Amino acid sequence: MKEYDTLIKNGYVVLPDRVQKLDIGIRDGCIAAIGEGLHAPASLEYNAENRYIFPGGIDVHVHFNEPGREDWEGFSTGSAMMAAGGMTTYFDMPLNGIPSTVSLSALHEKTQIAGQKSIVDFGLWGGLVPGNEEELAGFADGVIGFKAFMSPSGNPQFERADDQTLLQGMKQIAKLGSLLALHAESAPMIKHMQAEQTGTDADAYAGSRPIEAETEAVQRAINFAKLTGCPLHFVHISNAETIDTIEEAKQDGMDITVETCAHYLLFNHSSLQTQGAAAKCAPPLRPEKERQHLVQYLLDGKIDIVSSDHSPCPPELKDTTNMFTAWGGINGGQFTLMALIETALRYQVPLSRVAAWVSSNPAARFQLDKTKGEAAVGKTADLVVVDLETSHTITAQDLYTKHQQSLYIDHTFPCRIIQTFYQGEVVYHHQTGVTNHPSSI
């Protein structure tokens, strides 16, 4: 009689406090044993010699645009991309679907679609927009949290939250025991600075969204949170100065987490200058000095979570030299884990830190840590096998997204994702691709 469904042998398992050569026994979708020299019978035995086994990643910030804009990205292609990137759980943002996820009926529709199509696990964000503050209680139990924009979202169907909406919404969210994720850039400052620009190129776009616009909005949101008691999660913070503001609030005991994105760690403003709209995002990529400061803050433990903010679109929406009219979003959800491994190797940071940024910290923040976030007995067998001895230069053919356009094309990572296990089953292998069947969520 078999003891395990799958036995992964001889891998270097990335644990919260160390990396150790161990075997992992998987049974009924969960990790049943971790130890040296496991020899019990298994239906499938996999030799991970000289390879590293990370806990499955949790990407807390993606845009899959379904229903309504599946031609941009949908749950089938989006979840395939997640699997290929070592992400076994993702949280989809509420704004770019039609309808946006700002009501119970919209949530039900999206949940049904994602449940049918996703090949890995998922959570859904709800939206806070003007006029729906009193509706939040009706669908709070079905979402991972709520998301609002303090500047225009780029989608007229998902309006930015003015100050009164934020205050009312935060009050409701605090009562519900949930949290609010914020795109924090100052709308008045952006409007003013955009009017000051004389061109439409990369420099003009960056000039219209200065660091001060982030810092001002973050400080205002923190003040609102002090009044309402609302927990906050700041998304895609792009600079160290703004993180100083958040760190001060954390030291005062406020319930706040901060996220940055892989593209802010690897790329700088010169990428927007040379690659154009493929590198456009909001906030924009910052100058090299700011990128270096941000990386240092990550290494210093001042950033809790790293996400992708995967926000794709059809290529024609990027086919312009006008950086103000081009769609603002980066196709990057497949590369967060590899980007963090690259950062860890470059700065000689323990790989356990990578697992914290992309697995255990998100699991803890969003109350998934009973089953996810680390390689441990009793946890779900969401695991990623990585080769650190083989570099991987990204080509368009590597992309599992709907559209093969990405800032990451031609970037060389010092590693390759070999295999992704979701609930103990292989959903991706670098030689055979993604297993194309829906997950049982």
The pLDDT tens digits of the residues spanning 208-229 come to 999 999 999 999 999 999 999 9
User: Could you tell me if 168 and 287 lie in one domain?
Assistant: yes
Closest CA to 45 of 1, 5, 3, 86: 5
- Give this prediction's pTM: 0.96
Please check whether residues 46 and 62 belong to one and the same domain: no
Q: Residue 397, exposed/middle/buried by CB under 10 A (0-12, 13-18, 19+)? A: exposed
The full 3-state SS of 263-317, as one line of letters, equals HHHHCCHHHHHHHHHHHCCCCCCCCHHHHHHHHHHHHCCCCCEEECCECCCCHHH
pLDDT in tens, 32-62: 999 999 988 889 999 999 999 999 999 999 9
Residue 309 lies in a domain: yes
pLDDT attached to residue 441: 28
For the chain, what's the residue count? 441
Do residues 281 and 423 share a domain?
A: no
Q: What is the pLDDT of residues 306-355, one digit of tens each?
A: 999 999 999 999 999 999 999 999 999 999 999 999 999 999 999 999 99
Q: Which residue has 């001895």 as its token pair?
A: 389
CB 326 within 8 A of CB 318: yes
- Residue 65 structural domain: 57-365
Strands 383-387 and 416-422, by their bridges, are antiparallel
Rounded to an integer, what distance in angstroms lies between the CA atom of residue 252 and that of residue 398?
A: 45
In a domain, 372, yes or no: no
Count the neighbouring beta carbons within 10 Å of the beta carbon of residue 325. Answer: 11
Answer yes or no: do 277 and 350 share one domain: yes
| Number of structural domains the chain divides into | 2
Tokens of 50: 């000289």
Indicate if 187 and 271 belong to the same structural domain. yes
Is 361 within the bounds of a domain?
yes
Residues 147, 282 within the same domain:
yes
In a domain, residue 10? The reply is yes
Nearest Cα residue to 332 out of 313, 356, 357, 352: 313
Helix (H) or strand (E) holding 82: helix 75-84
40 and 89 both lie in a single domain: no
Q: Is 200 helix (H, G, I), strand (E, B) or coil?
A: coil
Do 86 and 36 reside in the same domain of the chain?
no
353-394: pLDDT as tens digits: 999 999 999 999 999 999 999 999 999 999 999 999 999 999
- Phi and psi at residue 375, to the nearest 5°: -85, 100
Instruction: Tell me, yes or no, whether 408 lies in a domain.
Output: no
Tell me the CATH number at 42: 2.30.40.10
Do 323 and 427 lie in one domain? The reply is no
Positive or negative CA dihedral for 72, 74, 80, 84? positive
Q: Examine residue 244 and state whether it is found in any structural domain, yes or no.
A: yes
Assess if residue 90 is contained within a domain: yes
Same domain, 153 and 253: yes
**Residue that the structure tokens 């967060």 belong to:** 336
Residue 219: how many other CB atoms lie within 10 Å: 17
> Same domain for 168 and 230?
yes
CATH number at residue 123: 3.20.20.140
Instruction: Please determine, for residue 1, whether its predicted confidence score (pLDDT) is greater than 60.
Output: no
Kindly state whether residues 43 and 72 are assigned to the same domain. Answer: no
Q: Is residue 16 part of a domain?
A: yes
Task: Specify the pLDDT at position 439.
Answer: 41
169-213 residue pLDDT tens? 999 999 999 999 999 999 999 999 999 999 999 999 999 999 999
